Amino acid sequence: MSSLTPEQIQARIARAREINASVDAGPVVAAVARLFDLEPASESDEFLFPALATTARERIFGGQVIAQAMVAAARTVDPGKQVHSLHAYFLRGGDETKALHFRVHRDFDGRSFSNRRVVVRQDGKVIFNLTASFQLPTPGLAHQVPMPDLLPPEECRDFLETIAADPNISEETFYHMARRRPFELRNHRPPASAKATQHYQWFKVAAPIGDDPLIHRGFLAFASDMGLLSSAMLPHGLNFMTPGLFSTSLDHAMWFHDDIRVDDWFVYVMDSDWTGGSRGINRGSIYRQDGTLIASAVQEGLLRLAPPA
């Protein structure tokens, strides 16, 4: 299907809202929070996350394993130290129907900083590794780049409106994407014809998650992999649903700058300054609604576009 009529789009929006409203947000958000309930394994500094009975995903969502590995690392660090950066590589696609094993290596503990290396395995094979650094809160020099001039969340397009207008989304995929998500989402994405390099998306967790700072950072790490890779597609007029496009994350880096609460609106401003060699660089700056820069992210992804048959 090359395009949808306004009437078809409105009908799809109504159906998407019906699908979305059929599930309460609380259990969906709680399911993400449970991702961080890692079970201690038989050896010290090792953790397990059990297999799911079934899954609709071809592979584990990257944001999940980023956040889980970060939380596993934090469980071995002095609680007074907060994670301020992480660097990760995706090595193999994970399977949600198999247990995850997290091995944390205590590479360094100093007075101000600690460093942890986390190796994640399934079936004995390494699928992901992450290095995270933790710091005692310390006063010092401070500056930030101002937040760009952006539309507020209430003036941006609802995520359901975005998927309803995309003719490349099949009925099965549409039903899956319209289901309740852990975040309320509002986005501003230029049309494909603009060949733009920047877009942004507002997030707010859809149900209460308490006050634990680590859980809020875990949710932010989870969200940092939502849509970032599409930045490198934008200049080429592509998106995740483009026929013949295969995409996956190769690595991911993130820096935490300020106090974080994901139950308040925050905006992910994303862009891409390069694609080539079937790879693309994607950058993101995350701001609170008051303009405070709270985190930054960079990711390289694989982009392979098969020629039309």
**Amino acid at site 174:** F
CA-based nearest residue to 257, from 202, 205, 296, 201: 296
Nearest-angstrom CA–CA distance, 130 and 210: 26
Instruction: Return d(Cα 21, Cα 24) in angstroms, integer.
Output: 7
> What is the DSSP secondary structure assignment for residue 250, as one 8-state letter?
E
- SS3 of residue 223 by DSSP: helix
Closest CA to 233 of 186, 187, 197: 197
Q: How many residues does the chain have?
A: 309
Whose CA is closest to 214, among 57, 78, 55, 309?
Answer: 78
Tokens in use for 183? Answer: 């975040």
Distance of CA 109 to the CA centre of its chain: 28
Active site residues: 225, 249, 299
**How far, in whole angstroms, is CA 297 from its chain's centroid?**
10
Block residue for tokens 């709270």: 294
